[in-house]
Every structure is written in C-alpha cells, then in structure tokens.
Amino acid sequence: MLSCKQSSQLISQSLDRKLTKRELFSLKLHLLICKYCKRFSQQIHSLRVAIKQTVASIEANDTIKMPSSAKNRIVELVDTYRQQP
Amino acid sequence: MTTANMHDWLNQHGDFLYRFALARLRDPHLAEDVVQETFLAAIKSPSFAEQSAPRTWLTGILKHKIIDVMRKNVREIAASDLMTDTDANMDEFFDDAGHWEEKPLAWDMPENALEQQQFLGVLQTCMDKLPTKLAQLFLMRDIHETENEEICKELNISATNAWVMLYRARMGLRKCLEINWLGVN
C-alpha cells in the first residue's frame, strides 16, 4: 500500500513520465481511498494549466513595455554593428 | 542596406518580444538581455533582409535565446543544492509514516474573470518565491514542454533527479497557493 508521500511523488512524476502499470494501479487504488491525495492530484494538474495562463496574460499585457534605456542600447549596438566594414 | 528596418522592427516588435521573454524568464534584466541578443543575431543573419514576417522570425530566434538562458541557469543548480537534503526538505510535508503533515485543503478554482485575475496574480507571486532556478526548470518543463530526457541530457542529471526537482517545485507552489489563494477568498 502506498503512503501519501509515495503517492504524491507518483502523481508529480505522472506529469513527467509514463507510470508503469503497477505504479498506476497502486496509485489509483490509493486515490480511491485518500481524498487528500486526490485533491493534491487535481490541484497539481490545474497548476500546470494555470501556469500557461500566467504566461499568456503577461504576453497580452500591453502596459508592459521594454524600458527605453534597453531600446536605446539595442539601437546603438545595431548601428555600431552596421558601421563595421 | 540600412539599419532603418531594424529600428522599425524594434519599435514594432520590441515590446512584444520583451513581454514574451519576461513571461518566461521572470526577470526584467534577463528579458532585456535576450531581446538584445535577438536583435544582434537578427542583424548578423544573412537572411535578415528577406524576412516577410519579422515578428515570427524574431520570436523564433528569441525562443532559442530564452532556452539557452534557462539551461545555463538550471545547470548551475544541478550539482549543488539539489541533490543534498532532498528528503529532509520533504519532511515539512510528511510525517515519518509518510502521511500528510498538513492535509491539502480544498480550493475553489476561480469561477469568473475577476477571480481568475486574482488567482493568476497569486500564482505569479508564488512563482517568484520559488528559488529562481527551480522555477526555471519548472517553466522549461511546463511551458515549453521540453521533454524530460532532453532536460536531463542538457543538464547532465539523472531522470530521477529531474523528477525530484520538479516534484519539489510543484510541492512548493501548491503550498504557497494554498496559503495565499485561500487567504484571498
């Protein structure tokens, strides 16, 4: 019988590799009787979805601009490069 | 050829590229650096003048620059702070028998746009609290969907180590969200 610690490790690993049939079986069995690990599993899965959403929301945020100091530096570097023979 | 189009590109796409990098690297300075490297790589490229879809082209270059930075950053941790006290670190989550020390609480997932915004805000804060390198390994895996084998090869770590690192990152994030998201509601 898996402990919650082992079960949480398998839940995390299931996002990174294919579990063996044996692991999957013992995990499913554990999840049937342990509501906390079941909860953990759902939360870890929604976490992955939510992380992708944070990336999308930063990308879409027009109020975030590259500092003009950085832009000026890039312009200078580009010009310097171009002036080289 | 002049640098004029490069200046135009910077004006038209610079902010977009910056946000793209910032969303992934979560560090304004690193984001500036990779955008700068992207423009330099672009102007040195022989095919620079032929690009009909500059944004797509520049984003492609930027992606590689971002992954390079992530690799470099994550590689530094691989040996040092990760292998040690792996289990000790998990002791805060489980008792000796492997039972939850603090049982995961039920969360309400956000139900409307406002809650969604709040949730993402909390998640952002929690990502920032993770050790930078752990966060980046996590982002490599969960945003770029870099295959595990590829990560291991890049970082020269075993698959087991990668799973441990990712497990730690997820445990830390979940805990942080539990505290802060429940606090919001």
The count of CB pairs under 8 A between chains A and B is 137
Q: What is the pLDDT of residue A11?
A: 96
Q: Is the dihedral of CA B85, B87, B88, B89 positive or negative?
A: positive
Local confidence pLDDT in tens for the 185 residues of chain B: 456 678 889 999 999 999 999 988 888 999 999 999 999 999 888 887 777 888 999 999 998 898 888 878 777 665 555 544 444 456 678 998 999 998 999 888 777 778 878 888 888 888 888 877 677 778 778 776 667 777 777 767 788 888 888 898 899 899 998 888 876 54
Confidence category of residue A46, pLDDT binned at 50, 70, 90: confident
B46 CA: distance to closest CA in chain A (Å) = 13
- Tell me if B177 and A65 make a contact (CB, 8 A cut-off): no
Decide if B7 and A65 are in contact by the 8 Å CB cutoff. no
Query: Residue A83 pLDDT more than 90?
Result: no
Contacts of B19 in chain A (CB under 8 A): 58-59, 61, 64
Please state at what angle helix B159-184 crosses helix B148-155, rounded to 10 degrees: 110
Query: What pLDDT does A85 receive?
Result: 59
User: SS3 for B23?
Assistant: helix
Which residue in chain B has the smallest CA separation from A45? B170
Pick from B64, B25, B27: nearest CA to B42? B64
> What is the ipTM, given to two decimal places?
0.79
For residue B46, give both structure tokens. Answer: 């022989």
Contact A47, A15 (CB under 8 A): no
- Which of chain B's residues have a Cβ under 8 Å away from the Cβ of A15? 142, 166, 170
Is residue B8 classed as helix, strand or coil in its secondary structure?
Answer: helix
Please name the residue that has the structure tokens 């956000």.
B110
The pLDDT of residue B152: 76
Whole-model pTM: value is 0.76
Residue contact A82–B98, C-beta within 8 A? no
Q: Is B54 on the interface with A (CB under 8 A)?
A: no
Residue of B nearest to A47 (CA): B174
Q: What percent of chain A lies above the pLDDT cut of 70?
A: 98
Of A4, A52, A54, the CB nearest to B124: A54
What is the C-alpha radius of gyration for chain A, rounded to an integer number of angstroms? 24
Instruction: Give me the pLDDT at residue B70, please.
Output: 81
**Quick one: tokens of A9?**
């490790």
Q: How many residues does chain B have?
A: 185
| Confidence at residue B50, expressed as pLDDT on a 0 to 100 scale | 78
pLDDT value, residue B110? 77
Q: Please indicate whether, in this complex, the C-beta atoms of A3 and B94 are within 8 angstroms of each other.
A: yes
What does residue B178 show for φ and ψ, rounded to 5 degrees?
Answer: -60, -45
Give residue for tokens 């040690």: B84
Which chain A residues are within 8 Å of B173, Cβ to Cβ? 47
